């Protein structure tokens, strides 16, 4: 065989090898491109999931904030209704005090003033009933144990037979409105008797 003669089998083998190499190259490039594309898509998916998660968190926070605002507004309205009379009630309390003082100062035995005294007592009872309808209750702690949250001690005196820290006299009644203190009761408190250390 001369140098110029080409064996067709050789050509086919060479062409087949070239084609196979080309196919392997293309497949390798396709695999590399696919792997890169999958990596890009996974990164995009992770970023999208992070955005969705943060937006979900933001929506939940906004909803919770809205609920808190509604609840606070409802509480404020309730407090406004409940305590709207606070200042007005404080202005009326001296009227009750003066009616009680008038009853205390009146001569109970004098026939000429009995009708007047009964009228004052009826007025005071009517006034107290109106206060109670508005949620304003009297604090009259005579005989009770002193409570610094509701009572204001004006003085302490030693009283034989009285339990220490008990209220023995009420100088001015206190008032509360819907569970909130308007004015503490001004009271005289019994103190413990002094122990004779010389015996």
- pLDDT, one tens digit per residue, over 72-85 is 999 988 888 777 77
What share of the chain has pLDDT > 90, as a percent? 43
CATH of domain 85-191: 2.30.22.10
* pTM greater than 0.75: no
Question: How confident is the model over 110-165, as pLDDT tens digits?
Answer: 888 888 999 999 999 999 999 999 889 999 999 999 999 999 999 999 988 888 99
pLDDT of the residue at 183: 94
Residues 6+ apart with CB under 8 A from 42: none
What share of the chain has pLDDT > 70, as a percent? 84
Q: Maximum CA pair distance of the chain?
A: 163
d(CA 88, CA 131): 11
- More confident: 193 or 59: 59
d(CA 98, CA 75): 36
Sheet holding 174-177, edge to edge: 136-139, 174-177, 180-183
pLDDT of the residue at 195: 58
Tokens 């406004």 correspond to what residue? 80
* pLDDT above 60 for 198: no
Half-sphere exposure of residue 81, counting CA atoms within 13 Å on the CB side? 5
Do residues 134 and 141 touch, judged by C-beta distance below 8 A? no
d(CA 89, CA 45): 66
pLDDT of the residue at 135: 87
The residue among 136, 198, 147, 197 whose CA lies nearest residue 170 is: 147
């Amino acid at each position: 065989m001369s140098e110029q003669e080409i064996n067709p089998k050789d050509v086919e083998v060479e062409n087949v090898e070239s084609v196979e190499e080309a196919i392997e190259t293309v497949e390798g490039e396709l695999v590399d491109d696919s792997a890169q594309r999958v990596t890009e898509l996974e990164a995009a998916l992770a970023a999208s999931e992070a955005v969705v998660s943060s937006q979900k968190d933001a929506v939940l926070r906004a909803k919770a904030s809205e609920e808190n605002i509604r609840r606070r507004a409802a509480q404020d309205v309730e407090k406004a209704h409940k305590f709207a009379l606070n200042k007005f009630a404080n202005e009326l309390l001296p009227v009750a005090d003066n009616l009680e003082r008038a009853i205390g100062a009146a001569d109970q035995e004098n026939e000429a003033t009995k009708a007047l005294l009964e009228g004052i007592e009826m007025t005071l009872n009517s006034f107290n009933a109106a206060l109670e309808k508005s949620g304003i209750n009297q604090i009259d702690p005579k005989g009770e144990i002193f409570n610094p949250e509701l009572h204001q001690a004006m003085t302490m005196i030693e009283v034989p037979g009285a339990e220490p820290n008990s209220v023995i006299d009420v100088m001015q009644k206190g008032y509360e409105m819907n569970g909130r203190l308007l004015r503490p009761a001004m009271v005289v408190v019994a103190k413990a008797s002094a122990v004779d250390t010389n015996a």
